[in-house]
Amino acid sequence: MAEILDGKELAKNIRKDLKVEVEKLKKKGIASKLAVIMVGDNSSSEVYVKNKSFACKKVGIDFEEFFLDKSATEQELLDLIETLNQDKSVNGILLQSPVPKHIDINKAFRTILPNKDVDGFHPMNVGNLVIGEDCFISCTPYGVMKLLEEYKIEIEGKNAVILGRSNIVGKPMVQCLLAQNATITVCHSKTKEIENIVKNADIVISAIGKPHFVTSKMIKQGAVVVDVGINRLEDGTIVGDVEYESVSQKASYITPVPGGVGPMTIAMLLQNVVKATKIQNKQ
């Protein structure tokens, strides 16, 4: 039976440490603030933003939400980002995806100042991650790495298979694991014989958004299985991409959904906001 990679518990400990850091900064007269922009209404985004706001409050980070109507123009969004870039009281800027189709989200990400880009989506942060320079790392892959580190999972020389190649999870996950000397295969919707590829994996990271996609048949005995997926079933239940019950019989370590990668993503966002605050205040 696999040991659980308990993201909920680790995230709680990280928040505890961050709270102390935020208090220390406050004693020096430095407040920390995250600005979140939402464009249009989307019930999932609203839940995510509420969770982020709640987490910020817990550690003492100020939080402000900016809501633009779904009819807002791209220029209106860029103008808002520019205002927040100039606002010295704002340390981190997060643009909640998705945005309406008429807005070029990459253009918006490029407009966020790299040192306020706490999601790590600006090309400068993405590029610095690739070349191994200090940067803001996309929160989900960063959270996965922290979880693997906490449980002392050996990465060097291991075969890691990443399912999904999105800019926010799959691609930065490659760079994070590569930096730790794993050998990496990335699978996507055009990959053939995924099952045979996953069977060779010592570490499997699934981020495709399909419930029960990863079955125990695909998993090597003793593999480490990290489930990034968040899928809502018709009855409202939240599940990951991994068939948890059967896979946990074969894996050595596994993340539950919920309670695995999700809380780590938010914890890393908070960590990035504190890092941004320190950089901007030369601490």
Minimum distance of ligand NAP from residue 85's CB (angstroms)? 25
With CB under 6 A as the contact rule, the residue among 170, 184, 220, 242 that binds ligand NAP is: 170
Q: What separation in angstroms does the CA of 158 have from each of 25, 64, 178, 185?
A: 40, 42, 10, 11
Minimum distance of ligand NAP from residue 281's CB (angstroms)? 28
**Letter string b/e over residues 138-174, b meaning 16 or more CB atoms within 10 A of that residue's CB:** bbbbbbbbbbbebeebebeebbbbbbbbbebbbbbbb
Q: What separation in angstroms does the CA of 87 have from each of 113, 154, 180, 269?
A: 11, 42, 37, 20
With CB under 6 A as the contact rule, the residue among 22, 59, 161, 208 that binds ligand NAP is: 208
Task: Give catalytic residues, as residue numbers.
Answer: 52, 96, 119
With CB under 6 A as the contact rule, the residue among 152, 190, 192, 282 that binds ligand NAP is: 190
Binding characters for ligand NAP, 124-153, by CB under 6 A (x = yes): ----------------x-------------
Touching ligand NAP, residues 76-105 (CB under 6 A): none
**Letter string b/e over residues 77-106, b meaning 16 or more CB atoms within 10 A of that residue's CB:** bbebbeebeeeeebbbbbbbbebbeebebe
* Contact present, 84 and 93 (Cβ < 8 Å): yes
Question: How far apart (Å, rounded) are the C-alpha atoms in residues 232 and 31?
Answer: 37
Minimum distance of ligand NAP from residue 148's CB (angstroms)? 15
With CB under 6 A as the contact rule, the residue among 60, 164, 172, 256 that binds ligand NAP is: 164
Minimum distance of ligand NAP from residue 132's CB (angstroms)? 23
With CB under 6 A as the contact rule, the residue among 60, 120, 172, 262 that binds ligand NAP is: 262
Cα angle 48, 127, 30; round to 5: 55
Minimum distance of ligand NAP from residue 214's CB (angstroms)? 10
* Nearest residue to 206 via CA among 190, 181, 230, 182: 230
- Please report whether residue 261 would count as binding ligand NAP according to CB under 6 A: yes
With CB under 6 A as the contact rule, the residue among 53, 85, 166, 281 that binds ligand NAP is: 166
Residues that bind ligand NAP (CB under 6 A): 140, 163-166, 168-170, 187-191, 194, 207-210, 228-231, 261-262, 265
